[in-house]
Structure 1
Amino acid sequence: MDLDYNGGNTTTTNKRVFHRIGGGQSVNDTSNQHNHQHQQNQKVCYHWRAGKCNRFPCPFLHRELPAPPPHAYLNGGEGGAKRGFAGNDSSSFSGRRGGDGFSLLTQLEGHQKVISGIALPSGSDKLYTGSKDETVRVWDCQSGQCMHVINLGGEVGCMISEGPWIFVGLPNVVKAWNTQTNTDLSLDGPIGQVYALVVGNDLLFAGTQDGSILVWKFNAATFNFEPAVSLKDHKMAVVSLVVGANRLYSGSIDHSIKVWSLETLQCIQTLTDHTSVVMSILCWEQFLLSCSLDQTIKVWAATESGNLEVTYTHNEEHGLLTLCGMHDLDGKPVLLCSSNDNSVHLYDLPSFSEKGKMFAKQEIRAIQTGPGGLFFTGDGTGQVRVWNSVAVPTAAT
């Protein structure tokens, strides 16, 4: 999510301060931070082309140059508009007349319980979905068919992808798969369910049920992840993690957000403005966004002292579950936020004006963006929906 800041009340001073304490880097999601590192060397990885790259992170690009057209591999290229993820169902989920620029492409059926993770690894034509039904399903992006069902013997608490890697949080273990080399690793150490995973600064972080954040570092020589440290400061389970501006941010059932230095792995600030579980955290430019079961989205920015403070609070009628950011087809930043009334709100940023709303049969716990305006939602029934940005006709004047 590389969202552009288009205005708002925050001063230029705050932006400057935040970039200074964050090492001069804009705050983006972890995948874009990883891509930023890739872009320092614009060569395409030879081993990736051969499907054999085992470097983590790889200093070269894991994509062809120039990039493929939007939806190329997801829709089967030209002429693929009626198969795969480019379905015929153009149902809009706008709550407003005239449409909000998004449409439903298709629905993926098969999971029996709540979807807890969705991942689209780079360089892969497969979509991975994880569920509390103890399985991960692998979907072919061209046909939209389920290709594999992986039985894991435990509820999937979370799932992310980073480059060719997929990480799955389970009770007492993190599974790591490399989709190019078919490597399958088990990372022991967590106590209880793993609820959150994130990659940053060549480290893998896992938020666990006992309130710890376990850290592993990848060893290229052994092609394994080695335990580095366990961060213990939260009093209850860690359920959300995000990396940005050389910081790790962790949200917990204990109502707090903790800010950790990625260099020292020390907690440098604790944010206590939420009054219930901090369910999801998102980095957007110089801001940190958080949502909670206390029915608020809070926007945080750095002050002159370097500490984060709330600059805006958005109130909703229900507890909030998941944040995700993307661009619409006009390049404008959009925030998606799911609520425990089974809805997802779409907001323009930074105004927080509502673009529309969608509803599911049960609450949506997983939202994931894809290339070319695609995004995916997974709800409590186990249904995964594939959405696409579409052009909205404008009235002639």
Structure 2
Amino acid sequence: MAVAAAAMGPSALGQSGPGSMAPWCSVTSGPTRYVLGMQELFRGHSKTREFPAHSAKVHSVAWSCDGRRLASGSFDKTASVFLLEKDRLVKENNYRGHGDSVDQLCWHPSNPDLFVTASGDKTIRIWDVRTTKCIATVNTKGENINICWSPDGQTIAVGNKDDVVTFIDAKTHRSKAEEQFKFEVNEISWNNDNNMFFLTNGNGCINILSYPELKPVQSINAHPSNCICIKFDPMGKYFATGSADALVSLWDVDELVCVRCFSRLDWPVRTLSFSHDGKMLASASEDHFIDIAEVETATCVPRCSWTCCHLVFLSVCPRCLLLEEWPCLLCSLGLLPVL
């Protein structure tokens, strides 16, 4: 299988209370100057490339915090790391040790040398790219499918197929807390302030817990069907959710109100990623294109399309500040072959 890279740019609310959805999705009429500029740049940087990475399906991709490395996890039980050199990816190393598929991975939020993988073999592994070795293996109680690293770098949260979320101390590699939920837990994430923990669930809700107390704060009815993924804006203003209803919802972090919807996809939304400056949001599904939109208006920037694969994961490179400086490899994709 391959990791593909696609070119991408640099980076009236309805009624009301916290946790409510706007009765309509606001879209500003006509493209802004920002969008027009991005559309022009995209027209000149619209090529895609593929880089061999794995022998089976790619389940996850993520950029390091400095944007220099791209990691991928696969059904072939391995992780791979690529180094970004000008306009191409150079494979740096392959990481073996898991006994089952690597279903998700993420990097340390501030240390560009560390990343962690979650596997169906009931372990997570922490890797150091400087030594190319696993520096810690932590056993968990179930087959792991989702993982995230807290913004302060102190804690790793991992969710398994039994809807258990385990919080692991990133230094001692020991479990700090464990929560069993009575609903299907999908993607998980801390907010940028590190004081709230968010879960998306199979009932279409966003569940919010206080952190580190892990006490329920609020449950938001976000979508009419399965709420699959969640991503926080790097600027701390918004977070986005994707659902089986094919909608992406944009939420105000402080008010917990849905301010905007993105509805150009036809299939369940599997993955989301903001640009480094929070101005654009990429979303994808089994549709054969990535929807890239200006966050403040929902206006579409020209699509990145392909014909042979389904998208299951995407990640926007934080290193790419200006499209003129980094004309490609700004968005990397995990791809599945069409069956």
Q: TM-score, normalised by structure 1?
A: 0.56
Q: CA offset at residue 180 of structure 1?
A: 3.5
Q: CA offset at residue 107 of structure 1?
A: 0.9
Deviations, residues 285-332 of structure 1 (Å, cap 9, x unaligned):
311111111111111125xxx542333323221221111122379951
**Aligned partners of 1:211 and 1:238 also within 8 Å:** yes
1: CA distance, partners of 2:93 / 2:182: 36
2: CA distance, partners of 1:168 / 1:86: 20
**Aligned partners of 2:107 and 2:116 also within 8 Å:** yes
1:13–1:310 Cα change, 3 Å: closer
1:234–1:279 Cα change, 3 Å: same
**Aligned partners of 2:197 and 2:210 also within 8 Å:** yes
1: CA distance, partners of 2:209 / 2:135: 30
* Residue pairs, 1:198-213, within 5 angstroms: 198-201=190-193, 202-213=195-206
**Aligned partners of 1:198 and 1:241 also within 8 Å:** no
1:120 maps onto 2:125 in alignment: no
**Aligned partners of 1:174 and 1:188 also within 8 Å:** yes
Code of the aligned partner of 1:155 = E
1:114–1:313 Cα change, 3 Å: same
1:124–1:337 Cα change, 3 Å: closer
1:280–1:190 Cα change, 3 Å: farther
Q: TM-score, normalised by structure 2?
A: 0.65
In the other structure, the counterpart of 1:110 is: 97
1:180–1:149 Cα change, 3 Å: closer
In the other structure, the counterpart of 1:340 is: 336
SS at match of 1:213: strand
SS at match of 1:113: coil
Instruction: Find the partner of 2:33 among 1, 5, 12.
Output: 12
1: CA distance, partners of 2:263 / 2:112: 40
* Residue pairs, 1:1-397, within 5 angstroms: 5=10, 11-12=32-33, 100-121=87-108, 122=110, 126-162=114-150, 163-164=152-153, 165-170=155-160, 171-180=162-171, 184-189=176-181, 191-201=183-193, 202-218=195-211, 223-244=212-233, 246-284=237-275, 285=277, 286-302=279-295, 307-317=297-307, 318-326=309-317, 327=319, 332=326, 334-341=330-337
Q: CA offset at residue 10 of structure 1?
A: 5.8
Deviations, residues 138-184 of structure 1 (Å, cap 9, x unaligned):
33444323344323222222111122221112232322223246561
2: CA distance, partners of 1:316 / 1:273: 16
Deviations, residues 335-375 of structure 1 (Å, cap 9, x unaligned):
11222129xxxxxxxxxxxxxxxxxxxx9xxxxxxxxxxxx
2: CA distance, partners of 1:206 / 1:119: 17
SS at match of 2:223: coil
Q: Does 101-110 or 140-149 show the bigger shift?
A: 140-149
Report how many residues are paired. 263
1:112–1:277 Cα change, 3 Å: farther
Unaligned segments of structure 1, at least 5 residues: 16-28, 33-66, 72-84, 343-362, 364-397
Code of the aligned partner of 2:230 = L
Q: CA offset at residue 276 of structure 1?
A: 0.3
1: CA distance, partners of 2:120 / 2:223: 24
**Aligned partners of 1:157 and 1:196 also within 8 Å:** no
Deviations, residues 264-298 of structure 1 (Å, cap 9, x unaligned):
21223333221001111111131111111111111
SS at match of 2:337: coil
Q: How much identity, in percent, do the aligned residues show?
A: 17
1: CA distance, partners of 2:222 / 2:9: 33
Code of the aligned partner of 1:340 = L
Determine which structure has more spread, i.e. the larger CA radius of gyration.
1
Deviations, residues 9-50 of structure 1 (Å, cap 9, x unaligned):
9633669xxxxxxxxxxxxx9x97xxxxxxxxxxxxxxxxxx
Code of the aligned partner of 2:221 = K
Code of the aligned partner of 1:337 = L
SS at match of 1:319: strand
1: CA distance, partners of 2:123 / 2:242: 26
Code of the aligned partner of 1:167 = A
SS at match of 2:239: strand
Deviations, residues 210-250 of structure 1 (Å, cap 9, x unaligned):
322211222xxxx5333211122223322221112511100
